[in-house]
Structure 1
Amino acid sequence: MPSLAAHMDSVPPSGIRRIFELAQSLDDVVFLAVGEPDVPVAPHILEAAERAWHADETNYTPNGGIPELRAAIVAKLATQNGIAVDTEQVWVTNGGMHALFLAMTLTLSPGDEVLLPDPGYSTFAMNARMISAVPVPYTLRLAHDFLPDLDELERLVTSRTRMIIINSPSNPLGAIFPKPVIEMLLAFAQRHDLWILSDEVYERFTYGALHTSVASLDTDNRVFSVFSLSKTYALTGARVGYLVTPPGMAALLRTAQEAIVSCINTPAQLAAVAAITGPQDHVAAAATHYRENLEVATKLLTELGIAFLEPSGAFYLWVDVSYATDGDVAEWAERFLLEQRVAVAPGSAFGRQGEGWIRLCVAADPADIETGIRRLPRPPAVTPAPPVS
């Protein structure tokens, strides 16, 4: 049997999926591990998809997406994100993960280095390894308010560095980078002539903090932006996201898209048009639901004396359980699942800095959230613990 590509051995597995798949084999599990919205899809979106199927809208579309969807995205970017683009800069993708992979494939050669957040979304490193690039983590530490340290970034950059990834609102932290931090990262990228890949999938879920789109501050066309309908509209299985590119890349993108997926399925694109252009009250209701769930969870964690990061966005809680994990939170999370029937994402799945932490997804029934948190082991000295900030 021929051998597989040598670089495939370096692609790290997903620690989140490991927990998810184990949980699927068990009964009576409280699921707080995977970022799956628990709200229903709005009826007008489902109706648009249904109409498309019944009308036999099942043919190929242009590589970049159907014109009405790209136009809707252009208008949305202008009004909601402060980003002015034309339709040839918008490429409809198979979810946000495809957009991430597409941007990295376009910009990184084998051996190139990409700076990525630690803790950070596990797919960042997986994508880099898939194309034989080298992931270089930059740490987001409690001591630095989980914000990038410019001095560390300057130490990490080399002649091989080609890109820095920014994720705000953050998965797994729920943190939002303030505008001055975004400006600092843009200046850093300009000094070292780096591409920026900005993951803004959780843009619509913010709580008391302003989300700044990186491309809205870009002055020299170095930012790729990734968005998705998966979380905003509870359409994770529909697989519709989009990549926003600097100008002048249309011919290259058309070829790359054709080689990878050709196009995204037509009914899902028509549903996406309805999602973006239709009523947005269900999105606001979802944000309120997640905020209320976060309040339930943070109040209970505080009562139990368990430290956590106060989130500014997304629908996750970053919780410190280092007192119970004995230096191996991944092993502890599996044991916790088997013994307590609660699925949580081990922090180490998001990088070395996640050791001792877990990510709780609060896109769930409040009763499940309370049950899951109450099954967490108590710290040695149970005193009310304030959130870390």
Structure 2
Amino acid sequence: MPLLASQVASVPASGIRRIHELALQLDDVIALAVGEPDVDVSRHVLEAGSAAWLADDTNYTANGGIPELRGAIKHKLRERNGIDVDLERIWVTSGATQALNLAMALTLAPGDEVLVPDPGYTTFTMNARMLHAEPVPYPLHADAGFLPDIDELEKLVGDRTRLLIVNSPSNPLGAVFPDEVLVSLLDFAARHDLWVISDEVYEAFSYGHPHVSLAALDTDDRVFSVFSVSKTYALTGARVGYLVTPPGLADIMRTYQEATISCVNTPAQRAAVAAITGDQSHVDAAAAHYRVNLDAATELLRERGIRYLPPTGAFYLWIDMSHATDGDVASWAESFLLQKRVSVAPGSAFGRSGEGWIRVCVAAARADLLEGLGRLPAPDAG
């Protein structure tokens, strides 16, 4: 048979999915590896999607999405994110995953370099490789609270660098970047004339510090913003996200969207309208649930002497297990799953700087979460 494209072999597999799929084959597993909200979808959202199916509201929509959804997003961006854009900059996508792929496809040519956070979401690197571009990890270090270091970024930027990816609130770190860090990242991008992709999928979940959208600080139209209804409204399977572009890209976005998905399915868009415009108390309740789980989990880790990054956003805990992993956290996570029946995501799945760490999703029943964390080996007291 013919050979596949040359870049296929360079696309890394997901270390998270490996653990998850192994867990699915086992009984009585406490699942803490995958970022799946454990709250129910609000009834009015389900009813809106169901009504669209029953009314046979299933035709093609405009490439950018139905007017009602784009209008709802426009209002939401202005009121909640401080971003005032026209409708032609708002593009409804098949989840944030497609939004991210679109933004990278628009900004990266073969051979270009993209600065990706390490630890960072696995798809950043996967997309870059699929697009024949080169991901260049910028390390986030434990001794700096896993915040970006501009001096380190300056050492990594080069003639082929075209794009910087920023993720706050962070998956996997559960960290929200302070305003001054966001401003310094934009200044860095401006100095080197880089595009910026701001992944804000976990925008609804920040603790102690309000989420700030990078585009609200952008003064020279270099930021692509990636959002989703998946985590905010527990609609992961509906596959609705949206990309907010810099101005002047409507025609090319129409072409790219047509060539990839044409449009997102209509009932899912109707559900998203209801989610964004309807009562938000269920979002507040979800955030409170995750916050309480985080508090309970960190208290347990403190009592057991296990180091972790204090969480300020999303619904993840970033936990240091280097005392137990012997330099290979991926193998340790697999053994831990088989022996203790708890699935956790190995930190190395998110980049080299994640070695020795694990990501735990706290979107779970509290008793299960605490039981799973209780099975982690604590550092040797001796």
- TM-score category (smaller protein): over 0.9
Match of 2:351 in 1: 351
Q: Deviations over 1:43-92 (max 9, x none)?
A: 00000011001000010000000001000000000000000100000000
| Superposition misfits of 4+ residues, deviation over 6 angstroms | none
Cα distance, 1:211 vs. partner? 1.4
Distance (whole Å) between structure 1 residues aligned to residue 358 and residue 144 of structure 2: 19
Cα distance, 1:154 vs. partner? 0.5
Match of 1:228 in 2: 228
Cα distance, 1:210 vs. partner? 2.2
Q: Which amino acid is 2:284 matched to? A: A
Distance (whole Å) between structure 1 residues aligned to residue 324 and residue 166 of structure 2: 31
Match of 2:2 in 1: 2
Distance (whole Å) between structure 2 residues aligned to residue 15 and residue 96 of structure 1: 20
Spell out the pairing of 1:291-370 with structure 2 (5 A cutoff).
291-370=291-370
Secondary structure of the residue that 2:283 maps to in structure 1? helix
Q: Which amino acid is 2:237 matched to? A: G
Match of 1:102 in 2: 102
Match of 2:148 in 1: 148
Q: TM-score, normalised by structure 1?
A: 0.98
Distance (whole Å) between structure 2 residues aligned to residue 350 and residue 335 of structure 1: 19
Spell out the pairing of 1:54-133 with structure 2 (5 A cutoff).
54-133=54-133
1:208 aligns with 2:204: no
Cα distance, 1:328 vs. partner? 0.2
Match of 1:17 in 2: 17
Secondary structure of the residue that 2:172 maps to in structure 1? coil
Distance (whole Å) between structure 1 residues aligned to residue 144 and residue 362 of structure 2: 25
Gap regions ≥5 residues in structure 1: 383-389
Cα distance, 1:139 vs. partner? 0.8
Cα distance, 1:146 vs. partner? 1.1
Is 2:8–2:130's contact at 8 Å kept on the other side of the alignment? yes
Match of 1:38 in 2: 38
Is 1:328–1:355's contact at 8 Å kept on the other side of the alignment? yes
Overall identity of the aligned pairs, in %: 69
Q: Which amino acid is 2:92 matched to? A: V
Match of 1:271 in 2: 271
Q: Which amino acid is 1:250 matched to? A: A
Is 1:178–1:210's contact at 8 Å kept on the other side of the alignment? no
Distance (whole Å) between structure 2 residues aligned to residue 162 and residue 381 of structure 1: 48
Is 1:317–1:361's contact at 8 Å kept on the other side of the alignment? yes
Spell out the pairing of 1:48-59 with structure 2 (5 A cutoff).
48-59=48-59
Distance (whole Å) between structure 2 residues aligned to residue 131 and residue 336 of structure 1: 35
Q: Deviations over 1:151-183 (max 9, x none)?
A: 111110000000000000000001111111111
Cα distance, 1:145 vs. partner? 1.8
Is 2:224–2:243's contact at 8 Å kept on the other side of the alignment? yes
Cα distance, 1:290 vs. partner? 0.2
Cα distance, 1:143 vs. partner? 1.4
1:253 aligns with 2:253: yes
Distance (whole Å) between structure 1 residues aligned to residue 223 and residue 379 of structure 2: 43
Please tell me the root mean square deviation across aligned C-alpha atoms, in Å: 0.6
Cα distance, 1:209 vs. partner? 1.4
Cα distance, 1:264 vs. partner? 0.2
Q: Which amino acid is 1:98 matched to? A: Q
Q: Deviations over 1:282-336 (max 9, x none)?
A: 0000000000000110010111110100000000000000000000000000000
Cα distance, 1:35 vs. partner? 0.2
Distance (whole Å) between structure 1 residues aligned to residue 309 and residue 179 of structure 2: 20
Q: TM-score, normalised by structure 2?
A: 0.99
Secondary structure of the residue that 2:232 maps to in structure 1? coil
Is 2:95–2:239's contact at 8 Å kept on the other side of the alignment? yes
Secondary structure of the residue that 2:85 maps to in structure 1? coil
Distance (whole Å) between structure 2 residues aligned to residue 116 and residue 4 of structure 1: 26
